[in-house]
Amino acid sequence: MTTAPYTAQDLQQLAEQAGRDLEDASALDVLRWAADTFGPRFCVTSSMEDAVVAHLASRALPGVDVVFLDTGYHFPETIGTRDAVAAVMDVNVITLTPVQTVAEQDAQYGPRLHDRDPDQCCALRKVAPLEAGLKGYDAWATGLRRDESPTRANTPVVAWDSRRQKVKIAPIARWTQEDVEAYVAEHGVLTNPLLMDGYASVGCAPCTRRVLEGEDARAGRWAGIGKTECGIHQ
């Protein structure tokens, strides 16, 4: 396992080479490459919609760091999923929180900022804490998939995250919803109970609704206001 202190230039070269070499590799092989290349300077981020990528990563790197953003607005089921993952899986769950509590944010910006300026709310409660939390890592993996929505159709498996100067990995980018369900069934992976209750994508409670027949998986996120991403992946 290599834990050399890579420079940003090293990381960019690694990302670009792996982006070419691993486009058709299996998700597990992509994560084994990440584990071998970055060791403990590699982490997985999880929304706790399911634990598929965390499970795959724990096979490649037992005890891998799994980073969860607790915005203060999650459904209780999401917090319960996080706690279950921490209790039963061979991973190290790290919970990141925003600088301000919801009450402190309300006091400064007014209540229900998510209704009035969701971009600012996401910037404060998601984007900024993740930027800070990823500082100690060279590479991070996400559960992004190309079939989730048109905005994610071109998600690379491995790419250079120039904004954060890190290697960004989407090991299941090429998976379909059926692939996810098959992996969950085969390995008994934990999933958020809301997935069995009409939610196809699980975010903060005020900004997430159930999806309707025929809608894509992320249609229930910020529905009706034209927002499709929180800003982490843009």
Q: Which H or E run includes 32? A: helix 27-38
Residue 43 labelled as part of a binding site: no
Q: Which of 114, 145, 152, 168 binds ligand SF4 (CB under 6 A)?
A: 114
Q: Does 19 bind ligand SF4 (CB under 6 A)?
A: no
Render 171-229 in DSSP notation, one character per residue.
TTTT--HHHHHHHHHHHT--B-GGGGTT-SS---GGGB-PPPTT--TTTTBSTTTT---
Q: Exposed, middle or buried by CB within 10 Å (0-12, 13-18, 19+), for 95? A: middle
d(CA 106, CA 62): 40
Answer yes or no: are the C-beta atoms of 156 and 173 closer than 8 Å.
yes
Dihedral sign for Cα atoms in the order 123, 13, 67, 224: positive
Asked whether position 232 contacts ligand SF4 by CB under 6 A, the answer is no
| Phi, psi dihedrals of residue 93, rounded to the nearest 5° | -75, 130
Residue 125 is a binding residue for ligand SF4 (CB under 6 A)? yes
Instruction: List the catalytic residue out of 230, 231, 232, 233.
Output: 230
State yes or no: 207 annotated in a binding site.
yes
Q: Which range, of 15-23, 79-87, 122-130, 187-195, touches ligand SF4 by CB under 6 A?
A: 122-130
Nearer to ligand SF4, 12 or 97 (CB): 97
Q: Among this protein's residues, is 230 annotated catalytic?
A: yes
* Interface pick for ligand SF4 out of 121, 130, 172, 232 (rule CB under 6 A): 121
Judged by CB under 6 A, does residue 207 bind ligand SF4?
yes
Q: Judged by CB under 6 A, which of 203, 218, 219, 220 binds ligand SF4?
A: 203
Q: Which of 95, 206, 209, 216 binds ligand SF4 (CB under 6 A)?
A: 206
User: What's CA 137's distance to the chain center, in Å?
Assistant: 15
Furthest CA-CA distance within the chain: 50
Q: Are 144 and 155 in contact (CB under 8 A)?
A: yes
Say how far apart CA 123 and CA 89 lie, in whole Å. 30
User: Is 122 part of any known ligand binding site?
Assistant: yes
Choose which of 25, 39, 70, 73 interacts with ligand SF4 (CB under 6 A): 73
Residue 109 is a binding residue for ligand SF4 (CB under 6 A)? no
For position 53 contacting ligand SF4 by CB under 6 A, the verdict is no
Q: For ligand SF4, which is the closer residue by CB, 59 or 227?
A: 227
Q: Decide if residue 230 touches ligand SF4 (CB under 6 A).
A: yes
The correct pick among 57, 61, 122, 195 for binding ligand SF4 (CB under 6 A) is: 122
Residues with a catalytic annotation lie at 230
Binding site for ligand SF4 (CB under 6 A): 71, 73, 114, 118, 121-122, 125-126, 203-204, 206-207, 230
